[in-house]
Chains A and B, each alone.
Chain A
């Protein structure tokens, strides 16, 4: 089968699976008739209502705005401190140890502290997004810069390249695929972190909206929020993949 045929075949399988799952879900929902399990048709109706109302777009925009702010800060600081950690040798061992220590703490565990420090609102959510995205970006940048292939470095030395030229033209591009992969992972974690932050510490956004629907037992509203989170995450990853392919198109 050709590659095109393979892709078409895959899509057909995906579509068929989705249809089967949706039909089964609808069937179970109609059979049970409980508020906790609305069918896909009810969820779709709610999505349409929230879209016409404008709430859905306002919430998506609020969540994306928080991700943008927190992720930008994490990317800037993660890449620069990661580079410092990689190139600083033993002088930055403390920095690497500090990040290794805070890395296993999940972003959600920072929420109480962020509310105490920043109160309820955007700064608290920005901080949670930052915490979620920073570690993978730092670690990948540091790791990628430290593991520059020795053959490239030997080549740079053999042609007489100084430390700055070697960093700029050899170490940095060689590390780029790893750094970009770290940024992609960071973006994914930023998105999941913002939802966690909004569930408890915000007055808008998809996480906040899910929580509000839960309080009034509008399960279809909760599911609309969840579906939006999934679709937005998918879209962000697709954009990140395109950017990755453009930035490091030489990487295998």
Chain B
């Protein structure tokens, strides 16, 4: 059994701020599971993700990610915007991430090509980001993060900027990829249905400073249909918990 990634008693305040954003946040992310992080605006969800990614340094506490082998990456991130480098093609963007991870040039294509095919972009590798639609660019962002074979995949509202119909398709695609690769993922989202479709549990952050208020298990069999009665019932429970958190 693979070891879980964890964060232990995290505390973080932005420089110059009177109050910490997060305090005493401890979570475990069991291997192969997806955890959705939800909460009111300003609850520090994206800050938590950046702390897990190592993009911010906690004032106290630590993030523990199991050792990785070879050229795999401990953590990779799918940002809310695709963040493709506009001067590189799709291929160039994917190669750049793998080059940064130390993957030899001859092995890079084999890492991203199957993923690119899986998201329906097999014919797009020579295109520049300016030639991609928003949904296509975000799929490339997902492929880039997965090609790094991370111990912990971090998704920061990855589909917030795409239209609702496309969002449903991208959620199904992501669910398939996460389950196929037994990827451990942390998803920050405002979309309750997205959280329930993708996650095995939902963590609710709340307070000032924020900490973990509730952890709800999502007990719905995969593959999940966003319109099924089970998903709707789970979404209702999560929404009720969120409403209670916001009312405090």
Contacts and interface: CB of A to CB of B under 8 A. Distances in A.
Nearest to A169: B96
Given A159-B100, A159-B101, A160-B100, A151 B85 contact: no
A49 interface: no
A165 B99 CA distance: 9
A156 interface: yes
B128 A156 contact: no
B76 interface: yes
Given A160-B73, A165-B99, A155 B87 contact: no
Given A152-B83, A173-B85, A157 B55 contact: yes
Contact of A152 (B54, B73, B85): B85
B70 to A, nearest CB: 13
A178 to B, nearest CB: 13
A158 B101 CA distance: 10
A165 B87 contact: no
Given A158-B76, A159-B96, A159-B148, A151 B83 contact: yes
B49 to A, nearest CB: 11
A10 interface: no
Given A154-B55, A169-B96, A250-B128, A159 B79 contact: no
A161 B100 contact: yes
A160 B87 contact: no
Contacts of A157: 54-55
Nearest to A157: B55
B184 to A, nearest CB: 17
A170 interface: yes
Nearest to A158: B77
B200 interface: no
Contact of B55 (A158, A248, A251): A158
A84 interface: no
B81 interface: yes
A7 B55 CA distance: 50
A176 B101 contact: no
Contacts of B55: 154, 157-158
Interface hub of A157, A159, A169 (most chain B Cβ within 10 A):
A159
Interface string B180-214: 00000000000000000000000000000000000
Contacts of B79: 151, 154-155, 158
B86 interface: yes
Contacts of A151: 79, 81, 83
Contacts of B101: 159-160
A173 B73 contact: no
A156 B100 contact: yes
A159 B71 CA distance: 12
A159 B86 contact: no
Interface in A23-42: none
Interface in B136-163: 144, 148
A158 B99 CA distance: 13
Nearest to B73: A160
B65 interface: no
A160 B144 CA distance: 13
A160 B99 CA distance: 9
Contact of B87 (A156, A159, A161, A250): A250
A159 B73 contact: yes
A42 B73 CA distance: 75
Given A155-B79, A155-B83, A250-B86, 20 more contacts: A151-B79, A152-B83, A152-B85, A154-B79, A155-B85, A156-B100, A158-B53, A158-B76, A158-B79, A159-B101, A159-B144, A160-B101, A161-B99, A161-B100, A162-B100, A169-B96, A173-B85, A173-B87, A174-B85, A250-B128
Interface of A: 151-152, 154-162, 165, 169-170, 173-174, 176, 248, 250-251
14 contacts: A152-B83, A154-B79, A155-B79, A155-B83, A158-B77, A159-B97, A159-B100, A160-B100, A160-B101, A161-B96, A162-B100, A165-B99, A173-B87, A250-B130
